[in-house]
Structure 1
Amino acid sequence: MTTGTALEEIVFASHKFRDVLEAARKLTVRSEFTTVEWDEEAPSIDWGFALLYASAITSAQSERAQSAVLRIATACMLSSEAQDAHKAAAAALLERSGNHMAVELAESRDRLPADAWRRLPGALRMEVVRSRIEYSVRLSDGRVLPVNPFQGKFWEAVETNDWLSVSAPTSAGKSRIIREHFLEVTRQTGPFTLVYLVPTRALIEEVSRDLRREVPSDVGVFTLPWDPDLGESSRTVLVVTQERLHLVLELLPSFSVDLLFVDEAQSLAGDARGVLLQHSIERTIRRSPEAQVLFASPLSSNPELLVEDAPPDRRSDSFVSETVTVNQNLLWVEHINRKPQRRAVSLVSDGNSHRVGELVLAQRATTVPMRIALVAHALAGNNPGNVIYVNGPSEAEKVAKAVYEQLPALAEADTEIDDLRDLIKTAVHSKYLLADVLARRVAFHYGNMPLMVRTEIERLFGEGKIHYLICTSTLLEGVNLPCRTIFMRNPQKGPGNPLREGDFWNLAGRAGRWGKEFEGNVVCIDTDDESLWPNLPRVRKRSQITRAVSTGLDDASGLLAFVRSVDEVHDDSASESLFAYLCSRHLAGESIQALLDRVPLESERSEVESAVTRAATDLRIPVEIVTRHTGIAPVSMERLLDSFRRSGKTPADLELPLPEEPDARARFQESLVRIGATMTNVFGATRSSNDRRKWQLANLIVNWMNGMPLARLIDQRLAFNTSLTSARAIRDVMRDIESIARFHAPKYLACYADLLEVYSAELGLETAARPDYAMMLELGVSRTSEVVLMSLGLSRTATVALSDFIGVDEWSRTEALTWLAAQNLDGLGVPVLLQREIGDVLKVATRRAETAPKTD
């Protein structure tokens, strides 16, 4: 009897089958890009042979086999030469592979008659029925959920393991099956706390919004550590980043969890934030040793690394799924000598590139943005579903304008596009280029933009109303932006940091999302220039998961450099975060020996250990403050405390005011100067108390906490520096809000306030209750009533638009919802898109109220 593996080898050993497979690849590419001048006529395919051989490997679990089956079945359904019987057989192959969504997509696009499989012989019909039963799970509410092989395996594994780490391609449906698992847990009776840990604030809103729509009415979905109802909820889903989880653990000492899910777990490699992510996971697990712990990562080869820390008495497992739900076509577009308006197009398969045709550009490409735009438009035309990956906000804007110039004006107005343009002009700035390029269905998208604007861009792109979307590396952080074709040239992740192959294929996975497209296309531009493509992709590869903590110890050069210059003021570096992490664990009474053993040289190991011990021995700050402010080295805290002592000032002279107080800007500038002299130079190099950059940032911080709209903050920046262009000022302000106001400032100013309390205690003075600066800075509002609105799911943009009309400082969620429902939003001048956002929040609240269990 021939085994599945042996049969797979026999099939792929067939030259004819490999030729058919390549012909199928070319056929689908030709159907995608009709403007290419092809070197050869369309290939003819023997569909009977192709489908027979593909059927022989449908049970093989390798990525190679699954990709081949999908490619042949897809090409057959797209082919005008394939007969109906062939297409029905292709549908049966997809059903056998658990790819029911591809069949539904073919039916919806009239590539396949509805229920075509019912016309097959009886034995094949029974096989389809069996596959549909095999690839489905029954939920506790009686519904049957169709799944693919990865999702089915995950569902089985999650029911039998306490710790589980999985890896699958970007398009395998990880987010969907995780959400279904969360919803299944929320249907159980009794109390629970589930934590959904994501790497970005944008994902917080996306995940929480989806969950709020579907969880039972008695389950609270929370996103803010400061939500007044969080500590009172007995049935809780918490969706947070590692920073917010760390704050929850500090604010709620009794907080424990039943399920912790870490999405995009490859983020553990991410320098200082990777260290904090590991620290937050470890603290959560120590507090909740019985919790189920789940990790998910895209295209990683070693997911087992993440369950190595599972206690011996906990059941653990990991697996790599090779489920292929969508194929990607990889194309290279290259220069042709002496033909400035032509480009050679090559198709890459099995690691080899083969020229297949030429592309004619509309004109010469004299600049890089023009080159990208001309290639993209020549291939995709005016069709939707195109993402262009670039290396920064400035480049995104230039490429967007270049694409805009290639497209015609809209034949008729689009109300939803116009509403978004109006919101941008009101909530961002009247001169923001984004509003201009949207007029021709072009947009750009980067991490510093207001959440409401990004969310609406993503929605309109998903619905096909925006045709071209120019994105930066935020696309690598799990943002759900499926597309048809993704274009890249010289892709980087940060300035001068070429995209690694693992990141490239993670990004490529955005092309052709399951159930949205039959295939995706990845177009690499100027691949003949080696300086642009040091990691030129040929074959899809998986990457190794690493942890910033382990990496920083395995190569301890950065850590040692910090230890040896610990008396100097540093940037907010990964090395300082790692040193602070070691100190926090040591001070908490936990052994760090296993961590130190990773340092290769004994002398270096001893040096690091001595530095940690010395920091703990010399510590004059309460341990809880050190652990509360992980990421800041104890010695930096000591320096700031010493500066208080030497200042000759009372705590009252040093305390941080509320943002509305008249001396707020001057006092915050003084605090930034003092922090810059003792803790970090992320707020600018220290020169004097009149430092211009720190005054600029103090002004931004105070106005941000006061709820000043973004447009006014930008106008202030333009007035402050008249040499700036509007475009530069808009980008700079948005960058400073994300990097300074919402990240560095809360980190260091919260520590400043805590150390000031220590100084007061040393002087025997009572400390008055102080504001929560971390909350005000991250959210950009200062009143409790505004925080409650944001806890309901409103963006800062919508909250600020309403803030002038709110007459109370504190209210409950119920009172806030009642007030919202009573407002004449149009009469208040609230932009249409913000009205819709508010309406969505009210709809969710109404649904939950209507479905809530009735009590006598």
Structure 2
Amino acid sequence: MTSINALEDIVFASHKFRDVLESARRLTVRSEFPTVEWYEELPPIDWGFALLYASAITSAQSERAQSAVLRIATACMLSSDAEAAHHAAAAALLERSGNHMAVELAESRERLPADAWQQLPGALRLEVVRSRIENSVRLSDGRVLPVNPFQGKFWDAVETNDWLSVSAPTSAGKSRIIREHFLEIARRAGSFTLVYLVPTRALIEEVSRDLRREVPPDVGVFTMPWDPDLADSSRTVLVVTQERLHLVLELLQSLTVDLLFVDEAQSLAGDARGVLLQHAIERTIRRSPDAQVLFASPLSSNPELLVEDAPPSRRSSSFVSETVTVNQNLIWVEHIDRKPQRRAVSLVADGNRHRLGDLVLAQRATSVPMRVALVAHALAGSSPGNVIYVNGPGEAEKVAKAVYEQLPALKEPDTELDNLRDLIKTAVHNKYLLADVLARRVAFHYGNMPLVIRTEIERLFGEGKIHYLVCTSTLLEGVNLPCRTIFMRNPQKGTGRPLKEGDFWNLAGRAGRWGKEFEGNVVCIDTDVDGLWPNLPRVRKRSQISRAVSTGLDDASGLLAFVRSADEVHDDSTAESLFAYLFSKHLGGESVERLLERIPLESERSEIASAITNTALDLTIPVEVVTRHTGIAPVSMERLLDSFRRSGKPPSDLELPLPEEPDSKARFQEALVRIGATMTSVFGAPRSGEDRRKWQLANLIVNWMKGMPLARLIDQRLAFNASLTSAVAIRDVMRDIESIARFHAPKYLACYADVLAVYSTELGLEATDRPDYAMMLELGVSRTSEVVLMSLGLSRTATVALAGFIGVDEWSRAEALEWLAAQNLDGLGVPVLLQREVADVLEIASRRAESSSA
């Protein structure tokens, strides 16, 4: 009997099949881009032959085979030459491949009649039935969940393994099947704590919102370590970043975890945050050795790396899935000599480029933003589902404005767009360009924008209300923002850092929404410009997962440089985080010898080991303070403590005030200056005389904690520096809020407060209750009542809009919900979108209360 691999080779050895596959590929590309002037007509496709050969490889698990089957089936459904019997056979191919959502999409778009497969002969109908049974899982509540091959394999593996690491393409449905696994556990009786670890705050809100709507009423979904109900919850789902998980473990010393899921596990490679992620994972597992540990990553070739640390007694496994649910067309768009309004369009397949036609631009492109906008509009017109990837917020705004100029004004007003524009003018600034470009269904999206704005943009884009969305590298951080076509030119991840091929294909995986589109398109612009595309993509490749800890030890030059200059103030570098990580393990009684063996030279291993030992011998900071502030080197804490000693001031003159106190800005500036002299340069390099930057940041930090709206913070920045334009001030303030107020300031000011407490103890003074600066800074509010509102799922923007009407400082969740339900939000002048936020929170709470009482 011929094996499936041998049969696959026979099929692809057929010149006729390869020609048919190429014709199918070009047919689908033509259906996507009707404005291109094609060079030649397509030859007719022998659908009987194509479908027969495709049917022979439906059981093959390779990406090549699955992509070909999907391509043939899709082209057949789109073709006007295919007969009804061919369409039925195409449906059978998709069903056999487990791609039920593509069948449902074809039926919804009337490319297939309902239940087209039932027109097939009896034997084939039975085969479809068998495939549907095989590609489904039965849930504990009796429902049957349709799955694709990756999801089915994951479901089997997660039931039989304690540690599991999986890799699959972006569109394979990882998030959905993980959520179903969480829900399946939540439906069972008993207490549990499940941790869903994500790389960004934006994903916290997205994942928690979906889970809150579906978990049983007695399950609490928590997103912050400061939630007052967290400690008392017996059935708990935690959706957190690595920073928040670290804080949870600090605040709840008795917390144990039953399941730890690490989403976007390739983030372990991410510099200082990658080190913290590994530290948080290891700390969780040490406390909960029996926890199930799951990792998921897109398009990685070595997921087994992440289960290497599983104890021998724990069952572990890993697999790479090549399930293809949506195909991508890779398109290159290049200039044509002396024809400034025309561009050559090429299709790249199997590493080969085929020039297919010309694209006519509306006008000459005299700047890069205009060129990107003209190409995107020439290909996509006014159709929805277009993402343009750019390399920074400023570029995003320029390209969005250039696209806006190509589009006509709306014939009729769109209420939802108008509501978003009103919120932007109220909550961000009345001169924010985003409100202007939205008038023609264009938006931009980057990580520093307020979450409520980004969330609404994503929703309207997903519903087709926004046609063009200009994005930065937030798309690489797991934001669930699929599209129909993604346009790129010189894509980078940070200034001067071209996208690696793995990142490119992860990004490209956003093109083509499973169940929403038959395929996606990846359009690369100016691929002919020398040096512009150092990693020019031709064939989809998987990337190697790495760990920042391992990378930093394999090349220890950065770590050695830090050790040799430990007396100097550093800039929150990866090397400092790595040293702090190693030192924390040493303090915890763990040997770091095995880790240091990764350093090639024995002399360098010895130097770093000695630095760790000597630092421990000289340590005067309590161990619990050092471990609480992982990521900050102990030598920096010692310098800060010594600075307190040398100041001659009593602790009361050094302590941080509450944000509403009259001297708060001056005191926070003094603290930032002291931190800058002893711990880190992230708040600005030390200078002689008045430090305007630190005063600026102290003002921002205090007003942010007080709950000042973003619009007022921007107006303050404009008043502080009259030379700034509104656009620059808006971007700068949003960047400082995310980078300084919500990240660096909580990290260092919380450490400052703890080291000051050590100083107080040395002087024999009693420790006083200290405000939780990490909480106030990350959330941007200072009252317990406001924290409770945010714990319910309200954004900071909505919370701040309501804060002035709240008459109490502390209340329970139930009291907060009762207060929200009693308010006349329209009468209070709360913007429509924020009213909807409140309504969503109340709806979820009401549904859970009804389910609980039923």
TM tier relative to shorter chain: over 0.9
Amino acid at match of 2:723: S
Q: What is residue 594 of structure 1 aligned with on the other side?
A: 594
- Paired with 2:688 and 2:526, the residues of 1 have a C-alpha distance of 48
Q: What is residue 541 of structure 1 aligned with on the other side?
A: 541
Q: What is residue 486 of structure 2 aligned with on the other side?
A: 486
- Paired with 2:416 and 2:542, the residues of 1 have a C-alpha distance of 40
Cα distance, 1:209 vs structure 2: 0.2
* SS of equivalent to 2:781: coil
- 1:198-230 deviation digits (Å, cap 9, x = unpaired): 000000000000000000000000001000000
- 1:597-649 deviation digits (Å, cap 9, x = unpaired): 00011111111111111111110110011110000000000000000000010
Q: What is residue 560 of structure 2 aligned with on the other side?
A: 560
Q: Report if the CA contact (8 A) 1:73-1:90 is conserved.
A: yes
Q: Report if the CA contact (8 A) 1:162-1:314 is conserved.
A: yes
- Paired with 1:580 and 1:481, the residues of 2 have a C-alpha distance of 36
Cα distance, 1:687 vs structure 2: 1.4
* SS of equivalent to 1:301: coil
- 1:415-459 deviation digits (Å, cap 9, x = unpaired): 000000000000000000000000000000000000000000000
Cα distance, 1:102 vs structure 2: 0.3
Amino acid at match of 2:765: L
Cα distance, 1:689 vs structure 2: 6.1
Cα distance, 1:768 vs structure 2: 1.1
Q: What is residue 607 of structure 2 aligned with on the other side?
A: 607
Structure 1, 468-477 or 40-49: larger mean CA deviation = 40-49
Q: What is residue 69 of structure 1 aligned with on the other side?
A: 69
Q: What is residue 668 of structure 1 aligned with on the other side?
A: 668
- Paired with 1:182 and 1:645, the residues of 2 have a C-alpha distance of 51
- Paired with 1:233 and 1:690, the residues of 2 have a C-alpha distance of 49
Q: What is residue 631 of structure 2 aligned with on the other side?
A: 631
Q: What is residue 517 of structure 1 aligned with on the other side?
A: 517
Q: What is residue 423 of structure 1 aligned with on the other side?
A: 423
Q: What is residue 108 of structure 1 aligned with on the other side?
A: 108
Q: Report if the CA contact (8 A) 1:374-1:403 is conserved.
A: yes
- Paired with 2:605 and 2:21, the residues of 1 have a C-alpha distance of 55
- 1:59-81 deviation digits (Å, cap 9, x = unpaired): 00000000000000000000011
Q: What is residue 794 of structure 1 aligned with on the other side?
A: 794
Q: What is residue 163 of structure 2 aligned with on the other side?
A: 163
Amino acid at match of 1:164: L
Q: What is residue 317 of structure 1 aligned with on the other side?
A: 317
* SS of equivalent to 1:549: helix
- Paired with 2:461 and 2:530, the residues of 1 have a C-alpha distance of 33
After superposition, where does 1:42-61 map in structure 2 within 5 Å?
A: 42-61=42-61
Amino acid at match of 1:674: R
Q: What is residue 371 of structure 1 aligned with on the other side?
A: 371
- Paired with 1:853 and 1:813, the residues of 2 have a C-alpha distance of 18
Q: Report if the CA contact (8 A) 1:484-1:512 is conserved.
A: yes
- Paired with 1:487 and 1:42, the residues of 2 have a C-alpha distance of 26
Cα distance, 1:853 vs structure 2: 4.4
1:38 to 2:38 alignment: yes
Q: Report if the CA contact (8 A) 1:621-1:638 is conserved.
A: yes
Amino acid at match of 1:477: E
Q: What is residue 404 of structure 2 aligned with on the other side?
A: 404
- Paired with 1:291 and 1:690, the residues of 2 have a C-alpha distance of 52
- Paired with 2:621 and 2:333, the residues of 1 have a C-alpha distance of 60
* SS of equivalent to 1:466: coil
| Identity across matched positions, percent | 87
Cα distance, 1:767 vs structure 2: 1.5
Cα distance, 1:313 vs structure 2: 0.2
1:215 to 2:222 alignment: no
- Paired with 1:324 and 1:554, the residues of 2 have a C-alpha distance of 35
Q: What is residue 499 of structure 2 aligned with on the other side?
A: 499
After superposition, where does 1:276-425 map in structure 2 within 5 Å?
A: 276-425=276-425
Q: What is residue 200 of structure 1 aligned with on the other side?
A: 200
- Paired with 1:689 and 1:111, the residues of 2 have a C-alpha distance of 72
- 1:221-278 deviation digits (Å, cap 9, x = unpaired): 0001000000000000000000000000000000110000000000000000000000
Amino acid at match of 2:299: L
1:246 to 2:246 alignment: yes
Q: What is residue 687 of structure 1 aligned with on the other side?
A: 687
* SS of equivalent to 2:685: coil
- 1:744-766 deviation digits (Å, cap 9, x = unpaired): 00000000000000000000001
- Paired with 2:208 and 2:765, the residues of 1 have a C-alpha distance of 43
Q: What TM-score does the superposition give when structure 1 sets the normalisation length?
A: 1.00
Q: What is residue 87 of structure 1 aligned with on the other side?
A: 87
Q: What is residue 641 of structure 2 aligned with on the other side?
A: 641
Q: Report if the CA contact (8 A) 1:385-1:485 is conserved.
A: yes
The change in CA–CA distance for 1:540 and 1:219 in structure 2 (over 3 A counts) is same
Q: What is residue 183 of structure 2 aligned with on the other side?
A: 183
Q: What is residue 15 of structure 2 aligned with on the other side?
A: 15
Cα distance, 1:42 vs structure 2: 2.5
Cα distance, 1:94 vs structure 2: 0.3
- 1:487-517 deviation digits (Å, cap 9, x = unpaired): 0000000000000000000000000021110
Q: Report if the CA contact (8 A) 1:385-1:464 is conserved.
A: yes
- Unaligned stretches of 5+ in structure 1? none
Cα distance, 1:688 vs structure 2: 3.9
Amino acid at match of 1:209: R
1:719 to 2:719 alignment: yes
Amino acid at match of 1:818: E
- Paired with 1:166 and 1:44, the residues of 2 have a C-alpha distance of 41
Q: Report if the CA contact (8 A) 1:400-1:437 is conserved.
A: yes
Cα distance, 1:367 vs structure 2: 0.2
Cα distance, 1:707 vs structure 2: 0.1
- Paired with 1:538 and 1:579, the residues of 2 have a C-alpha distance of 39
- Paired with 2:163 and 2:737, the residues of 1 have a C-alpha distance of 37
Q: What is residue 443 of structure 1 aligned with on the other side?
A: 443
- 1:702-721 deviation digits (Å, cap 9, x = unpaired): 00000000000000000000
Q: What is residue 142 of structure 2 aligned with on the other side?
A: 142
Q: Report if the CA contact (8 A) 1:27-1:43 is conserved.
A: no
Amino acid at match of 1:165: S
Q: What is residue 579 of structure 2 aligned with on the other side?
A: 579
Q: Report if the CA contact (8 A) 1:449-1:734 is conserved.
A: yes
Cα distance, 1:285 vs structure 2: 0.2
Cα distance, 1:303 vs structure 2: 0.2
- 1:343-370 deviation digits (Å, cap 9, x = unpaired): 0000000001110000000000000000
Amino acid at match of 1:592: V
- Paired with 2:47 and 2:366, the residues of 1 have a C-alpha distance of 45
- Unaligned stretches of 5+ in structure 2? none
Q: What is residue 120 of structure 1 aligned with on the other side?
A: 120
Q: Report if the CA contact (8 A) 1:670-1:689 is conserved.
A: no
- Paired with 2:809 and 2:689, the residues of 1 have a C-alpha distance of 35
Aligned length: 854
- 1:515-550 deviation digits (Å, cap 9, x = unpaired): 110000000000001311000000000000000000
- Paired with 1:653 and 1:688, the residues of 2 have a C-alpha distance of 23
Structure 1, 116-125 or 684-693: larger mean CA deviation = 684-693
* SS of equivalent to 2:236: strand
* SS of equivalent to 1:506: helix
- 1:549-594 deviation digits (Å, cap 9, x = unpaired): 0000000011111111110001010000000000000011011111
RMSD: 0.5
* SS of equivalent to 1:852: helix
Cα distance, 1:773 vs structure 2: 0.1
Q: What is residue 129 of structure 1 aligned with on the other side?
A: 129
Q: What is residue 173 of structure 1 aligned with on the other side?
A: 173
After superposition, where does 1:832-843 map in structure 2 within 5 Å?
A: 832-843=832-843
After superposition, where does 1:253-264 map in structure 2 within 5 Å?
A: 253-264=253-264
- Paired with 1:843 and 1:42, the residues of 2 have a C-alpha distance of 54
Amino acid at match of 1:154: F
- Paired with 2:213 and 2:42, the residues of 1 have a C-alpha distance of 47
Cα distance, 1:690 vs structure 2: 2.2
Amino acid at match of 1:731: R
- Paired with 2:478 and 2:804, the residues of 1 have a C-alpha distance of 35
Q: What is residue 265 of structure 2 aligned with on the other side?
A: 265
1:850 to 2:850 alignment: yes
